[in-house]
Each structure stands twice: as C-alpha cells, then as structure tokens.
Amino acid sequence: MIEDLLRPQHLLIILGIAILFFGPQKLPELGKGLGRGIRGFKESLRDVSSDTPTEAKDNHDSTSRPA
C-alpha cells in the first residue's frame, strides 16, 4: 500500500501542492531546515550507537562477577 503512494505521479502532485501552499521562495528554506534536522538526527543515532556497546559490555561485566 505504501509503495503505491511513492510513484512519480504522486510525488509530482505533492510537490505541486507544496509550491502552491508555501510558494517557490519558501521551499528552499524548508528543504534546508529539513536536511539539517535529518542530519542532526543521524548524528545523534551514531553517537548513541557508538556509546551503547561499551555501556552494555560494562553492565554485563559488572553483573557477571560474583559478589
């Protein structure tokens, strides 16, 4: 069902509606803001994924030791 929504004809219609709604001057600003948000989100995911194995290993080591 979702693959039917992303056909080229549908994307052109969505782009046309966006141009009518926001205007051609505002669209580049919106695209830049969206790109910065996605980039920040990806960087945060990388930071979390690089920290997670170390923390999981530390937690595993501390719980496996006999008291």
**10-52 confidence digits (pLDDT tens):** 888 988 898 888 888 888 898 899 899 999 999 998 888 887 6
pLDDT in the model for residue 66 = 56
Tell me the average pLDDT across 43-64. 68
pTM value > 0.85 = no
**H-type helices in the chain, by residue range?**
2-5, 8-22, 27-64
Q: What are phi and psi of 66, to 5 degrees?
A: -70, 145
Q: What is the DSSP letter of 28?
A: H
pLDDT bracket for residue 54 (50, 70, 90): low
Token digits for 65?
Answer: 């030791």
What's the rounded Cα separation, in Å, for the pair 34 and 53? 30
Rounded distance between C-alpha atoms, residue 4 and residue 59, angstroms: 45
Do 27 and 18 contact (CB within 8 A), yes or no?
yes
